[in-house]
Amino acid sequence: MVQTLPFDPNFDDCAWTDAWLYVPVMQLVPGVYPAFTVHSWRISEADLCGQVIRLNQPLDVRGLVLRDGRLWMSDVPQERLMMFNNAARSRGRVLVGGLGIGLYPQYALPLAEHMTIVERDADLIPVVEPVVRAAAAHYQVPLEIITSDITETLEATDGGDYDTIFLDTWETLDPVNLPAINALRDRAISRLRPDGTVLLWGYRWMLRLFQQACEQLLALSPIERRNMLDAARRERPAVGTLLGPVAAYLDSHDDPNHDEAVAWYMNYILRARLEDTPR
């Protein structure tokens, strides 16, 4: 039997497939809710993981808009594709960190034996829960929705409890999130059954952005590299903190070998954890 990896950093949930187009999803009911408003609109064109696509037919979409006017979550094509791809790798007893707008659970329920969703925002649950419960009833899959923080759930006990753990609790696909996500990933791995899988929304996307920043550093002279890092620390301290070890590695090599440098900084970012990141 082939042994599967508990986490595959090369899995790209932005990889194109048109299969998501043919899977109907139940959508949120538009209206004003205590913490936000659910808006409805139609689109014929969308940005999908950096590529603009035109749809053969207009698509009805929903979006959660916060009181300050910011769009929090939506079910636009990019979100549908990414959630579909993650769901396609799911099976068995599934733990979900983050209820979202209800897309991942709907896509994953046909492959699940049992699903537990952990959501810390109590205002979100009554809005999204009805569509997820309807999907669970349709597929006859037992469903639990818990109001809590996913970190507390993962740390509650050790042992192999789940076949799939899908985490989506960060608001943006920003590489500075990676050390914290890695720590969450490692906790999740400890809760897997044998041959279980941890899936992280947008992880490969964030790795690509990190790689691009490292390639920029690699192409610079030591003085230019130092200036770039100083500017990053002034504008966004978290970026400077994340890239600092990469710059230090490059500075310690007079003429860094490209392949060796890539191997070093990819190993660094895959292992970086929040508590290990220098302040």
Q: Check whether 277 has a pLDDT greater than 60.
A: no
- Is pLDDT above 90 for 206? yes
First to last CA, the chain: 44
> Residue 254 has what pLDDT?
83
Question: According to the model, what pLDDT value does residue 69 have?
Answer: 94
Question: What is the overall mean pLDDT for the chain?
Answer: 94
Q: If you average pLDDT over residues 55-79, what whole number do you get?
A: 95
Contact 105, 115 (CB under 8 A): yes
- Whether pLDDT at 154 is above 60: yes
Domain 19-201 superfamily per CATH: Vaccinia Virus protein VP39 (3.40.50.150)
8 Å CB contact between 164 and 94: yes
The pLDDT tens digits of the residues spanning 159-198 come to 679 999 999 999 999 999 999 999 999 999 999 999 999 9
| Whole-number pLDDT of residue 158 | 61
| Domain ranges, ordered by start, for the chain | 19-201, 205-276
Q: Computed from CA positions of residues 47, 49, 50, 51, in that sequence, does the dihedral angle turn out positive or negative?
A: negative
User: Does 159 or 104 have the greater pLDDT score?
Assistant: 104
Long-range contacts of 266-275 (CB under 8 A, 24+ apart): 266/207, 266/211, 269/175, 269/178, 269/207, 269/210, 270/9, 270/182, 271/182, 272/178, 272/179, 272/182, 272/242, 273/179, 273/180, 273/182, 273/183, 273/186, 274/179, 274/180, 274/182, 274/183, 275/183
pLDDT of residue 255: 87
Would you place residue 2 in the very low, low, confident or very high pLDDT band (cuts 50, 70, 90)? very low
Between CA 98 and CA 111 the distance in angstroms is 19
Helix axes 258-271, 237-251, angle to 10 degrees: 140
For residue 156, the model assigns a pLDDT of: 85
Mean per-residue pLDDT, 40-44:
97
Indicate whether 102 pLDDT > 50.
yes
pTM: 0.94
92-97 and 112-119: which strand pairing?
A: parallel
Asked whether 15 and 208 are in contact (CB, 8 A), the reply is: no
Angle of helix 178-189 relative to helix 258-271, nearest 10 degrees, comes to 60
* Per-position DSSP letters for 53-70, written without gaps between them: EEEEEEEEEEEEEETTS-
**Between 222-235 and 203-218, two packed helices, what is the crossing angle to 10 degrees?**
140
**pLDDT one-digit tens code per residue, 239-276:** 999 999 999 999 999 888 999 999 999 999 999 986 55
